[in-house]
A and B are shown apart, each in its own frame.
Chain A
Amino acid sequence: MSTALLILVTIASVISVMAAIIWILKLRRQLSENTRNAAQLAPTLRQLETERDIAIAARDKTNEILASVIDGIVALDFNKNVILLNKAAQELTGYSETEIQGRPIDRMIRLFSEQEEILPKTYCQGSFNKPVKVVGKEGKQTKVNLMTTQAEGSVQTNLGCILILHDLSKEEELEQMKLDFVSMASHELKTPLTSIIGYLSVFLDEAGNKLPKENLDLLDKAFVSAKQLQTLIQNLLNVNKIERERLDVEVEPINLNDNFGKAIEDLQNQAKLKNISLNFSRDDTLPKVLADPVRIGEVINNLVANAINYTSAGGKITVYMKASPNEVTTTVEDTGMGISQEAIPHLFSKFFRVSNSMQKGNKGTGLGLYISKSIIQKLNGKIWVESEVGKGSKFHFSLPVAIQDTSSLDRNKFVSEAIQTGALNY
């Protein structure tokens, strides 16, 4: 039994050893196969590694490009969550990329056009291009121009909409500096000019009739030029105010006869020097209108000065008013060169000048009509033109009739009528 057991054990041992040898042999074969496979995989691995490096480099390059763009770029997925925020956008909104990534944009960055909030469903639909106010982290506000494009994203890229934010604060700062400069320069120019006009007018009053006509003519021309310069400076200041949205009007019931009478009287010399007859038809039945006496004086001054500029010697300018139940329409009619039909739609735009003007030394800055329109609109009136080349022009503007109430004027009746007409103003 013990022998049998011994043999059995021996056989078992032999089998075990044999099995071990077989296993080892098998393992060796496997090993060598693996080694061979690994050797075969190496190039693939190397290729993958290279491709990975290229992808990383490409990503870095894209990030670098996005970071160097001075406009803010924000990319959103289909659900309007932020997936990318470049460096400029981070600076504009105050958020770092990690703070905002994956979050819904409307909870992080709010956009306002005028006073109204605009939502992703609005600005991500079609193409959007408008100045807006961006409110970012901790209420940080910046004025930007927002442009959006809808990305043609697939499910994989999950790219919905791209926002481009162009910072307007620096441009606004420069614009403000420009406006401040024009305003300051105009005021500074006005002071010595007021002296020039003052002294010339006194001299003309006192000595004008003692001067030979030839000398008087020299002085008249200097005086008229100084007055033109004054109108020009006033126009610059007014445009400045319009741009700043600070052109204020003080409306009161006024008598246009007196107001226009004075303004036209001031322009008589200018017309006379060009040998143009300037006529004003008073209409004493005219109702009072609601207007700002100073501003409306500027409108008539600009319209008549234009008419003088664009009318040749021997021509005629007439200013007259016509009342209807609700409004008074004033017309400045000239026998000048007229305006082409193509030019008429642009006539009231800033800096527009009729280019084919035959007038030598074609004067004007292209501001007078623009300002006149702004003023008339502020006064709830209308301004328009009828013109035919070679026949002359008619500029019309209408103002609302004032409902009779003179109590505020009665209060101050101790001051002359001139005060009521704008010479002095209450």
Chain B
Amino acid sequence: MDPASKKILLVEDEDFIRELYVRQLTKAGFQVKSAVDGTSGLETLKAETFDLLLLDIMLPGMNGLQLLREFKTNNPTSPMITILLTNLGQEAVIKEGFELGAQAYLIKASYTPDQVVSEVKNALFGGQPVPPPNPTQ
């Protein structure tokens, strides 16, 4: 239940949103890294392992779904939890994200940063996790 033991990667191109989420997640005690686009996000995922990925869908260049597809192809058994950051009305995209292994989504405009943090906490510690195929922790 210790946030300090959990590593989160946030991929979000909007500077202010990214800064704010990083600030709040860091304040909550998590280890947080961030990326401004899909390509650098994927590079970061290749270099390190994370417990949770907060992934914006609309990104310049490689979008969130492409990133997720690429990551899942290379790491099919990764236990990393993925939460999609979306805008309302992207139902089709969300469905596709779920097929690619995302566990949840949240609508950026409807959630304050603290609600985002509490959803991240819930996703990581909130209940009895379904055991991943190859548990590493």
Contacts and interface: CB of A to CB of B under 8 A. Distances in A.
User: Interface SS of chain A: helix, strand, loop or mixed?
Assistant: helix
B108 to A, nearest CB: 5
Contacts of B115: 423
Interface in A92-133: none
B53 interface: no
B88 A195 contact: no
Contact of B119 (A190, A237, A419): A419
Interface stretch (B30-38, B39-47, B61-69, B98-106): B98-106
A415 B16 contact: no
Interface stretch (A9-17, A197-205, A304-312, A352-360): A197-205
A187 B112 CA distance: 18
Interface string B60-91: 00000000000000000000000100011101
A362 interface: no
Contacts of B98: 426
B128 A413 contact: yes
B20 interface: yes
B127 A415 contact: yes
Contacts of A199: 16, 20
Report the interface size class on chain A. 20 to 34
Interface in A188-238: 190-195, 197-199, 201-202, 205, 230, 234, 237
Given A414-B126, A414-B129, A415-B123, A294 B17 contact: no
User: Could you say which of B89, B111, B119 has the most chain A C-beta atoms within 10 Å of its C-beta?
Assistant: B89
Contacts, number: 92
Contact of B107 (A241, A248, A294, A418): A294
Given A193-B109, A202-B24, A248 B91 contact: yes
B122 interface: yes
Interface of B: 14, 16-17, 20, 23-24, 83, 87-89, 91, 94, 98, 103-115, 118-119, 122-123, 126-130
Closest 4 CB pairs of A and B: A416-B122, A201-B112, A416-B126, A195-B16
14 contacts: A190-B109, A194-B14, A197-B112, A198-B17, A412-B104, A414-B129, A415-B103, A415-B122, A416-B123, A423-B119, A424-B83, A424-B106, A426-B98, A426-B104
Interface of A: 187, 190-195, 197-199, 201-202, 205, 230, 234, 237, 241, 248, 250, 294, 297, 411-416, 418-419, 423-426
